[in-house]
Amino acid sequence: MNRYDRLIGHVSKPPLSPFIPSRKEECGVFGVFGNPDAAKLTYFGLYALQHRGQESAGIAVGDGCQIKEYKHMGLVNDVFNEDRLKSLKGHLSIGHVRYSTTGSSLLANAQPFLMFHGGEYYAIAHNGNLVNAVQLRRELETQGAIFQTTMDTEIVMHLLARNLIYGLEEALVAALTQIRGAYSLVMCTRNRLIGIRDPRGFRPLCLGKLNGSYVLASETCALDLIEATYIRDLDPGEVLIIDDKGFRSLHPFPKVRPAHCIFEFIYFARPDSSVFEQNVYMFRKRLGHIMARENGSLTADLVMPFPDSGNYAALGFAEASRIPLEMGMIRNHYVGRTFIQPSQAMRDFGVRIKLNPVRELLRQKRLILVEDSIIRGTTTRTRIKALRQAGAKEVHMLVSCPPHRHPCPYGIDFSTKGELIAASHTVDEIRSFIGLDSLKYLSIEGLLEGAGASVDDHPYCLACFNGDYSVTFEEQVRKDCFEQHEP
């Protein structure tokens, strides 16, 4: 029994990670080349990336002759056990954890997606969202393509298969030039591992090394868990091919201005990760410092976050403002993520059982709450009500990003304008709806300052704040995104 076998027993049934946030999000991808424990390493990589998706998990493993896969609905540690991993033998592997931003929540849509074509196996896992998927799918079906899933990822495989007569590299380039949107892909054949980022670099993907093995991961926290050394981020538009000779890169796209999703920093990524070559913890803490400067006249008895999303900006705000930091709400980490429940009534119940106020601490206190974002406002409203019932005298809220006024078609699950309370309400209306004494958002200038950039020169996508979409999308996506509903 090696050290990975021993570790699997220790993490088989843990409480949920304290870093797991509470809204829908996209996915996490992982890959290993050149290690006999590829499946086990991928298991641990996915375990570290569990915060990026809790709907399904899957692993595909190649041994030079074939690719085997196993995937199912549920958490990584529920889907896989020692016996299951032992059956996945091979030296290269890819894995995926999913929350559905495109495609229904069904086992058929779990990834990796595996196909056998022309005597070769191909497996692929995708983080992101294609904005021309409807058009491409319609064209492919007209030409005779038969789809097994509702995933946009399957579109990539159909495009790839149609060009494989020219070789894998040429087929990849041909397929990638037809798709638009956000994608970080890991892909494998029986003897190659491939990592791909879209030309704008919306989603993160990094390369690491473990002894003589190479590793691809959505976030560096996955490298840390398996003790791999970070090498670098893949460049936007890069196709990285790893085989027995090492790795080499293709850059088939013309260079364009990057559009890294800044919400990865604000919310998605684990605080111990580095994404887009910046540490997430330090970024969030800097936002707290900047909020203290932008709201210098605001006073209170204590600063507190809603755990865990506001923790690090609250630390920064308390440090800069010199107002004491307290954990006025305690989180029950044994409660699942509240968005999983299908009804709003059940979601609200999940909010109440997840966070409980410390009444003795909060009674007759003026509070400054720090939160990372407000999307629909319903969850925040329930939490503020609990603080009022606990005896809080005043409740002020600071949000460590600007208001979300525009939907995201690139893989974040606030894909329609009607889901965003700030799209149809003023800040004062939101304040009144939630039940606050005051509400302040971080400015776009302050957000970019925290990322070490300026309004005039930055590599980030801010479309959910300012509506500046760097990749245009088809009319069906526009209709779906901008249909207005009252939140």
**H or E element that contains 113:** strand 113-117
CB atoms within 10 A of CB 154: 24
Q: Based on the number of CB atoms within 10 Å of its own CB, is 269 exposed (0-12), middle (13-18) or buried (19 or more)? A: buried
Distance from CA of residue 473 to its chain's centroid?
21
| Residue 161 tokens, joined | 């298969």
221 is catalytic: no
**Could you tell me if 424 and 487 are in contact, meaning their C-beta atoms sit under 8 angstroms apart?**
yes
Read off the amino acid at residue 141: E
Q: Are strands 394-399 and 438-441 parallel, antiparallel or unpaired?
A: parallel
- Distances, alpha carbon 375 to alpha carbons 5, 59, 72, 269, 391, in Å: 41, 32, 30, 17, 26
DSSP symbol at 17: P
Read off the amino acid at residue 350: G
Binding-site positions read: 261, 408, 461, 464
Quote the CA–CA distance of 354 and 331 in Å, as a whole number. Answer: 6
Binding-site positions for [4Fe-4S] cluster read: 261, 408, 461, 464
Residue of 175, 153, 150 lying closest to 162 (CA atoms):
175
The active-site residue out of 27, 188, 206, 401 is 27
Strand partners, 186: 125, 195
Q: In what order do the strands lie in the sheet with 213-217?
A: 67-73, 56-62, 92-98, 28-33, 213-217, 206-210, 229-233
The residue behind tokens 């027995």 is 244
CB atoms within 10 A of CB 227: 11
**Could you tell me if 180 and 129 are in contact, meaning their C-beta atoms sit under 8 angstroms apart?**
no
Quote the CA–CA distance of 334 and 345 in Å, as a whole number. Answer: 20
Which residues make Cβ contacts (< 8 Å) with residue 198, sequence separation at least 6? Answer: 128, 181, 182, 183, 184, 236, 237
**What is the rounded end-to-end Cα distance, in angstroms, of the chain?**
54
Catalytic residue numbers read: 27
